[in-house]
Each structure stands twice: as structure tokens, then as C-alpha cells.
């Protein structure tokens, strides 16, 4: 967890959007946080400091990209996008998973990771754990090690952590 001050800053800069993308879902909008350069820098620093010894950072589409790229730069390692199905131009590995409001498929380039890579998976929100579990599976299919998951916010009432018992998780704030 982040310091009490950083947690309060994060919570004060995340906007709740009811009924998006469908009725009954409370969407956590991080764009106000991204617009606050001091808070954004503090988030990137906290995520990088908790990363441990990694050789790559994987960012999950779409908001995970916004956090993963600066975290990778702070760590001095490469960043690899994990995208929705059909969005990557080369050969991919694919993984289909359940969301809290449907199903989705994500992909990673087959040549993005190598055996021996230690990979930090970065996303904005840990909800049901489906996306993170699918990303970890893609990392392993690539022959690399999923060394951990770092998220800005964990929605504890959805129990996503329970699906990821084999993955160290670092959360900046839990609600």
C-alpha cells in the first residue's frame, strides 16, 4: 500500500462514473489523477519502487498503458503492450477471460518476452482478477516469469486477489 498521504491523494483524484460502461457498473475514472502531474509522478514512483527485480513491464490495455510506460522508464526496462484481440500487428498469444460485465480476449506479441524475463504486470484497477490472470497466463505462454502485479486501485469487494494466489500483488489503494 502507498503512504496515507498518497492514498488520500489518489482517492481524491479518481472520479466515480455510475452506470458505465453499462448499468450497474461503477467506473473508476483515473483521468483527473493523470492530469495532476505531482500525483501522477508519485504514483509512478511508488509503483516502480515496489517492482523488485524485473526485466520488463507489461501494460494492459488501455489505462494500464498510461501507468506501465512511465513505470518501465523509471525502472530502466522495456514496456510491452497487452492489447485487445486483433490490435497487434504480428503473431500473438491470446487468452480469453471473464469480466464483471462480459468476456474479453487479450493478446501479446509472441516475440515480446523471452525465457528468463521477469515481468511486472501493470494496470489501473484490480477488479475480478480476470484481466490480470489472463495477462499472467500470456506472460507464462511467452516463456517468461510473471514476477508481480502492480495496480493503482484494488476493488476489494470483487475479490480479484483470490484469483491470483500465485502472483505477488502491490496495490496503491484498496476500496
The yes-or-no answer on residue 63 being catalytic is yes
On the question of pLDDT at 48 being above 90, the answer is: yes
pLDDT at 113: 98
In this model, does residue 22 exceed pLDDT 90?
no
Residue 133's nearest CA partner among 110, 158, 171, 99 is 99
CATH number for the domain including 41?
Answer: 3.40.50.2020
Catalytic: which of 63, 83, 161, 163? Answer: 63
Residue pLDDT, tens place only, 103-135? 899 999 999 999 999 999 999 999 989 999 999
Structural domain count, the chain:
1
Q: Residue 33 corresponds to which cell in the numbers above?
A: 489523477
Pairing of strands 92-99, 56-60: unpaired
Cα separation, 70 vs 68, in Å, equals: 6
Domain that holds residue 70: 4-174
pLDDT for 1 equals: 81
Mean pLDDT of 61-68: 96
CA pair distance 15, 149, nearest whole angstrom: 23
- pLDDT for 2 equals 84
pTM beyond 0.85: the answer is yes
Between 10 and 101, residue with greater pLDDT: 10
The shares of helix, strand and coil residues in the chain, as percent rounded to the nearest 5, are 35, 35, 30
- Band (pLDDT 50/70/90 cuts) for residue 90 is very high
Q: Round to whole Å and give the CA distance between 154 and 137.
A: 20
Q: Choose the catalytic residue: 61, 83, 91, 100.
A: 100
Give the pairing of strands 15-18 and 78-84.
unpaired
Q: What CA–CA distance (Å, rounded) separates 161 from 164?
A: 5
**33 pLDDT above the threshold of 70:** yes
100: annotated active-site residue: yes
Amino acid at each position: 500500500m502507498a503512504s496515507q498521504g498518497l492514498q488520500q491523494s489518489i482517492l481524491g483524484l479518481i472520479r466515480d462514473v455510475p452506470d458505465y460502461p453499462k448499468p450497474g457498473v461503477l467506473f473508476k475514472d483515473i483521468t483527473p489523477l493523470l492530469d495532476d502531474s505531482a500525483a501522477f509522478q508519485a504514483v509512478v514512483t511508488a509503483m516502480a519502487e515496489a517492482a523488485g527485480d524485473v526485466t520488463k513491464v507489461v501494460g494492459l490495455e488501455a489505462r494500464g498503458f498510461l501507468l506501465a510506460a512511465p513505470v518501465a522508464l523509471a525502472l530502466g526496462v522495456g514496456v510491452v503492450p497487452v492489447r485487445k484481440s486483433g490490435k497487434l500487428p504480428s503473431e500473438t498469444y491470446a487468452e480469453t477471460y471473464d469480466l464483471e460485465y462480459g468476456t474479453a480476449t487479450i493478446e501479446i506479441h509472441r516475440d515480446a518476452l523471452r525465457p528468463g524475463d521477469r515481468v511486472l504486470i501493470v494496470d489501473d484497477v484490480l477488479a475480478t482478477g480476470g484481466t490480470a490472470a489472463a495477462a499472467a497466463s500470456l506472460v507464462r505462454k511467452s516463456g517468461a516469469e510473471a514476477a508481480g502485479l502492480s495496480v493503482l486501485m484494488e476493488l476489494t469487494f470483487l475479490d480479484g486477489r483470490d484469483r491470483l494466489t500465485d502472483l505477488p500483488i502491490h496495490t496503491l489503494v484498496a476500496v
